Amino acid sequence: MKKILTQELLLSLTADKPSISPKFFYDAIGSHLFDVITLLEEYYPTRTEKWIMDAYQRDIADAVDDCDVLLDLGAGNCAKASRLFDAIEPKQYWALDISKEYLEAAVADLQKQFPHIEMSAHALDLSLPLSFPDLQKLRKIFFFPGSSIGNYDPEKADQFFANIAYECHGNGGLLIGVDLVKDDETLHLAYNDPLGVTAAFNLNALLNVNRLIGSNFNLQDWEHYAFFNASKSRIEMHLRALTDVEVVLPGNGTQDHLISFNAGDLIHTENSYKYTQERFVEKLRRAGFDDIHCWTDPSDYFLVCFANANKPS
């Protein structure tokens, strides 16, 4: 595993535009930091999505209809899914996330609160193709909140939707939350909170990489840098080198890899695409969903959709 991750990071860090995948944000510290971000005044997405899900709980449950299995993709603390349990009444709950320890603790806690729902925690990487052969005959509802879809480049999002639509086998759908385009200042502040929690979350990716592959990134050499790229309709998060930096990625039995950065160089850590409702619904349709229901908040900050999967042809 260490070798595969080292190869992946070596490739992405030595590319023309160096990057670290956003999945590296999420170790136990990153998951907790994300939870703190959701409490910040400036970070509107979580409270707005919760508001929509509470305000339209009945309509969401009617649209979803029966639910044999609720699959929570990037479940985190599982709080959003659990708010829907009483309305949707899933028979099974599958929580999927890359942050293993954090996920397992959250599911164990939730199982005590909802003993009648069969629950399981699955530590896996959602950026790989998903397949659920054991659940083929069941009505599956995929839940993808938190605007995590915004982290996918538009083409990757199309592939992801097509994968989910196929996995429903004509019996199920996707309940998804996505962040909408809005004024630059609101967007900027949401990713540049004055307390510096988002900065810590971003920098923690370097500590997680160090822990996973034994590299020697030094936090003092890097700063958080996030801005709204209007032409691409996305927030970009980067880490910017404060000085010239040399980082060693251990070779695991082969030669170590030395990567050099100059002061001012960037490592791209996350995109967070912002959609219009029309564009987002069109993407879902193209991927094989139909009968799409949409709910927003009064400021049109955030969108929750339920989309029924068509039968694969």
Q: Which residues bind ligand SAM (CB under 6 A)?
A: 22-23, 26, 31, 34, 46, 74-76, 80, 97-99, 125-127, 145-146, 148
Q: Which helix (H) or strand (E) holds 96?
A: strand 92-97
Min. distance of Cβ 55 from ligand SAM in angstroms? 17
Nearer to ligand SAM, 261 or 301 (CB): 301
Return the structure tokens found at 122: 């699955």
Give the closest residue to 141 by CA, choosing from 162, 169, 118, 119: 169
CB 16 within 8 Å of CB 8: no
3-state secondary structure of 309: strand
Q: Which is nearer to ligand SAM, 126 or 245 (CB)?
A: 126
In the complex with ligand SAM, which residue's Cβ is closer, 49 or 221?
A: 49
CB 251, min distance to ligand SAM, A: 25
**Which CB, 82 or 221, lies closer to ligand SAM?**
82
Residue 168 CB, shortest distance to ligand SAM, in Å, is 19
Shortest distance (Å) from residue 264 CB to ligand SAM = 28
Cβ-proximal residues to 16 (8 Å cutoff; 6+ apart), any chain? none
Residue number with CB closer to ligand SAM (146 or 172) = 146
**Residue 208 C-beta: closest distance to ligand SAM, Å:** 11
Residues 6+ apart with CB under 8 A from 218: 245
DSSP-derived 3-state class of residue 258: strand
